[in-house]
Amino acid sequence: MSDMLRMSGSLFNIPVISLRLGQPIATAQEPIINPHNLKIVGWWCKDSENGSSEVLLSDDVREILAQGIAVNDESALSSPEDLVRHKEILDAHFKLVDKLVKTKHQKIGKVHDFSYNDGMFVQKLYVARSLIKVFTSEDTAIVDRTQIIEITDTYILVRDTEIKEGEEEMAGAAVPA
């Protein structure tokens, strides 16, 4: 059974709905992504009653619906200060959208969207190519998580998928007959 992929738009500015109250208790403004493994660990939320900044952890989500994120009740929301185990990730404020994507040889572009699976892991990055690339090929490159080599604060390094002519000749010479 393969995971269904969902687009990142379903993670931004959506209501957090209490199943106990049957109404929204907060707005999930943006996802919190662990930069080490690209797991969506939760959301930065704005509390509906007092407007305070709260965190909703993915573990406390019952289901993600078209109407919003379903949770048991308001106890699913936590103060960032209370989440000591997640402090490093929360303090990083890692943003995936607009992150530069490059190989060792060239810049590919910037992340403009991503998809994630039911396990809350980012699976694919949709990269808007730089202006020069737009004129020569498709305007979006799709990068699978298996192609990612390194993630830093400023860029995402991915494997080269194209072999340059010089490298191709060297690779051919290295293959035993």
Cα gap 106→12, rounded to integer Å:
31
Over 50: is that where the pLDDT of 167 sits?
Answer: no
pLDDT digits (tens, 9 = 90+) for 47-60: 888 888 999 999 99
pLDDT digits (tens, 9 = 90+) for 62-116: 999 889 999 999 999 999 999 999 999 999 999 999 999 999 989 999 999 999 9
Q: Share the mean pLDDT of the chain.
A: 86
**All structural domains of the chain with their residue ranges:** 6-92, 100-162
CATH of 6-92, one of 2.30.30.240, 3.20.20.30, 1.10.240.10, 3.40.1350.10: 2.30.30.240
Please say whether the beta carbons of 106 and 99 come within 8 A.
no
Q: Is residue 130 exposed (0-12), middle (13-18) or buried (19+ Cβ within 10 Å)?
A: middle
Amino acid at 81: E
Over 60: is that where the pLDDT of 128 sits?
Answer: yes
**6-92 against 100-162: fold identical:** yes
Please say whether the beta carbons of 62 and 72 come within 8 A.
yes
The reported pLDDT for the residue numbered 177 is 38
Over 50: is that where the pLDDT of 171 sits?
Answer: no
Q: Looking at the domain 100-162, which fold is it?
A: SH3 type barrels. (2.30.30)
Over 90: is that where the pLDDT of 4 sits?
Answer: no
Sign of the CA dihedral with 68 first, then 7, 9, and 150 last: positive
Q: What is the pTM for the complete model shown?
A: 0.81
Alpha helices in the chain (DSSP H): 87-92, 131-136, 165-174
